[in-house]
Amino acid sequence: MTNEGEPTLHVNRWGDDSAPARGGHGADRDPCPCFSQSGPRPRARVGFHGEQQDTSAPGWQRLLELVDEAAEDGREEFRPLTGLSAEERRQVVTLPPSIAKLTAVRHLVLYGSDLVRIPPEIGAMSGLEQFSPYTSYRLHWFPYEITRCRKLTRSTVSTRALFGNYKLRPPFPRLRPPQDFTAADQAHLDPRRWGATAVHRCSVCDRPIAQRALHQAWISLRVATDVLPLLVNACSPECVDALPEGHEDYITTPHTGGHVDQPPADWD
């Protein structure tokens, strides 16, 4: 029995992921041809990963169970990928919206994942203090909603895999002009075009985007330990204008990607 008032730390029950899945950056992970992460080889264009999550896959179904279990027992550290086999890890390209229930989680560990996107619901993880997606080499950007995690102070991100990173300055995907969507359209987006499969609420004001045009923008901000490229899905030009100034070593204003001037790479 624990003493009242003392925080309870629920240890992960499904192993340890202090090392990547068997085979590391090889056979047990899908390759990422988006841009070189080992040297300054600029590309004229990059794009979003277009993989859709197969919600019937065993890995996805198991992940849903793990999220529910973590929400129920209130654990403070969540390492969901350790509950999956190497093959099941490859079946998971995003996290479920149900991560919004993980308000007690202080440390989210996604080491060595095959993820290509993080859902905006991460912004509801109000207790998050540390975020560790290290060696998730297909994660090139993050949702602006992660800035809602006010307690987040530590992160471990493979920064050379990020759009616009200061070492290599790979380009950002060109975003599409503002577009009106029906509610049905918003729930069935092509991630290769929009970076997401669904957009329901404004990244900035959190109002529903229904019956408003979707305005997308990139902004690079320091989030915890790292400067991250953040994708903003805004409901209006006013919400885009309300974004904070970007990090001084990056493009400091919101932009739409493509052929934009970036500071010189700091390759060494």
* Segment 143-189, tens digit of pLDDT: 999 999 999 999 999 999 999 999 999 999 999 999 887 777 888 89
pLDDT attached to residue 26:
41
- Mean pLDDT throughout 191-217? 92
What average pLDDT does the chain have? 88
Higher pLDDT, 120 or 268: 120
Say if residue 12's pLDDT is above 70: no
Say if residue 14's pLDDT is above 70: no
Say if residue 111's pLDDT is above 70: yes
Q: Are 124 and 103 in contact (CB under 8 A)?
A: yes
Which has the closest alpha carbon to 70: 8, 20, 118, 28? 8
Give the lowest-confidence range in 78-82, 92-96, 181-185, 236-240.
Answer: 181-185
Q: Are 190 and 181 in contact (CB under 8 A)?
A: no
Q: Which residues contact 12 (CB under 8 A, 6 or more apart)?
A: 75, 77, 78, 79, 82
Instruction: Name the one residue in this structure whose structure tokens are 């550290």.
Output: 77
Q: Are 76 and 7 in contact (CB under 8 A)?
A: yes
Q: For 215-255, what is each residue's pLDDT tens digit?
A: 999 999 999 999 999 999 999 999 999 999 999 999 999 99
Query: How far from the centroid of its chain's Cα atoms is residue 147's Cα?
Result: 11
pLDDT attached to residue 1:
37
pLDDT attached to residue 28:
65
pLDDT attached to residue 11:
36
Integer angstrom CA distances of residue 88 from 23, 93, 105, 117, 135: 14, 10, 23, 17, 17
Instruction: Name the one residue in this structure whose structure tokens are 């890995």.
Output: 59
DSSP string, the chain: -PPTTSPP----SS---SSPSTTTTSTTS----SS-SSS----S------PPP-TTSHHHHHHHHHHHHHHHHT-SEE-GGGGS-HHHHHT-SS--GGGGG-TT-SEEE-TT---S---GGGGG-TT--EEE-TT-TT---EEGGGGG-TT--EE---GGGSTT-TTT-PPPPPPPPPEE--HHHHTS--HHHHSSS---B-TTT--B-TTSEEEEEEEEEEETTEEEEEEEEESSHHHHHTSPPPPTTS--S-B--SS---PPP---
* pTM (two decimals): 0.88
